[in-house]
Amino acid sequence: MKNRIYLKDLKDNVGKEITVAGWVDVRRDQGKMVFFDMRDMSGLVQCVVLPSHAEAIEKAKEIRPEWVLKVSGIVNKRPEKNIKQGVLNGDVELEVTGIEVLNKAETTPFQINENTIGVNEDIRMKYKYLDLRTERMQKNIRMRDKIITFFRKYMHDNDFIEIETPIMMKGTPEGSREYVVPSRLFHGQFYVLPQSPQQFKQLCMVAGFEKYFQVARCMRDEDTRGDRQPEFTQLDFEMSFVTQEDVLNYTEGMFIELIKSVYPEKKISQVPFPRMSYAESMEKYGSDKPDLRKDKNDPNELAFCWVLDFPMFEKTDDGELQAVHHPFCSIKEEDKEKFIKGEDMFSIRANAYDLVLNGYELSSGSIRIHERDIQKRVFELLKISEEEQQKKFGHMLEAFTYGAPPHGGFAPGIDRIVMILQNEPNIREVIAFPKTGEGRDLMMGAPAPISEKQLKELGIKLGK
Ligand code: ASP
Rounded to the nearest angstrom, the distance between the alpha carbon of 196 and the centre of ligand 1 is 7
pLDDT tens per residue across span 33-92: 999 999 999 999 999 999 999 999 999 999 999 999 999 999 999 999 999 999 999 999
Query: Ligand 1 pocket: which of 176, 364, 370 to mutate (most atoms <8 Å of CB)?
Result: 364
The number of residues making up the chain comes to 464
Q: How far is CA 90 from CA 12, 16, 69, 120, 149, in A?
A: 14, 17, 21, 32, 30
Average pLDDT over every residue of 120-140: 98
Query: Ligand 1 pocket: which of 205, 240, 326, 369 to mutate (most atoms <8 Å of CB)?
Result: 326
Taken in order 180, 182, 185, 186, the sign of the CA dihedral is positive
pLDDT at 222: 87
Evaluate: CB of 411 within 6 angstroms of ligand 1. Answer: yes
Query: Distance (Å, rounded) from C-alpha 223 to C-alpha 438?
Result: 8
pTM of the predicted model, to two decimals?
Answer: 0.96
Average pLDDT over every residue of 386-406: 97
For the chain, the first-to-last Cα distance in angstroms comes to 55
Q: Which residues contact 326 (CB under 8 A, 6 or more apart)?
A: 172, 173, 174, 175, 198, 366
Evaluate: CB of 410 within 6 angstroms of ligand 1. Answer: yes
pLDDT tens per residue across span 211-257: 999 999 999 998 866 688 999 999 999 999 999 999 999 999 999 99
pLDDT category at 173 given cuts 50, 70, 90 is confident
Query: Distance (Å, rounded) from C-alpha 82 to C-alpha 456?
Result: 68
Query: Ligand 1 pocket: which of 202, 217, 234, 351 to mutate (most atoms <8 Å of CB)?
Result: 234
Query: Ligand 1 pocket: which of 172, 229, 236, 328 to mutate (most atoms <8 Å of CB)?
Result: 236
pLDDT tens per residue across span 301-322: 999 999 999 999 999 888 888 9
Reply yes or no on whether the pLDDT at 195 is more than 70.
yes
Rounded to the nearest angstrom, the distance between the alpha carbon of 338 and the centre of ligand 1 is 25
Evaluate: CB of 89 within 6 angstroms of ligand 1. Answer: no
Rounded to the nearest angstrom, the distance between the alpha carbon of 237 and the centre of ligand 1 is 9
Query: Distance (Å, rounded) from C-alpha 46 to C-alpha 293?
Result: 42
For Cα atoms 396, 401, 405, give the angle at the middle one, nearest 5 degrees.
85
As a whole number of Å, the CA-based R_g of the chain is: 28
Which is nearest to 200 in space by CA: 233, 232, 163, 174?
A: 163
Reply yes or no on whether the pLDDT at 431 is more than 70.
yes
Rounded to the nearest angstrom, the distance between the alpha carbon of 260 and the centre of ligand 1 is 26
Average pLDDT over every residue of 133-141: 98
pLDDT at 226: 67
Evaluate: CB of 358 within 6 angstroms of ligand 1. Answer: no
Reply yes or no on whether the pLDDT at 175 is more than 90.
no
Torsion of CA 453, 455, 457, 459, to 10 degrees: -150
Measured by CA distance, the residue closest to atom 9 of ligand 1 is 364
Ligand 1, closest atom to CA 409?
8
Evaluate: CB of 409 within 6 angstroms of ligand 1. Answer: yes
Evaluate: CB of 365 within 6 angstroms of ligand 1. Answer: yes
Evaluate: CB of 364 within 6 angstroms of ligand 1. Answer: yes
Evaluate: CB of 198 within 6 angstroms of ligand 1. Answer: yes
Rounded to the nearest angstrom, the distance between the alpha carbon of 285 and the centre of ligand 1 is 24
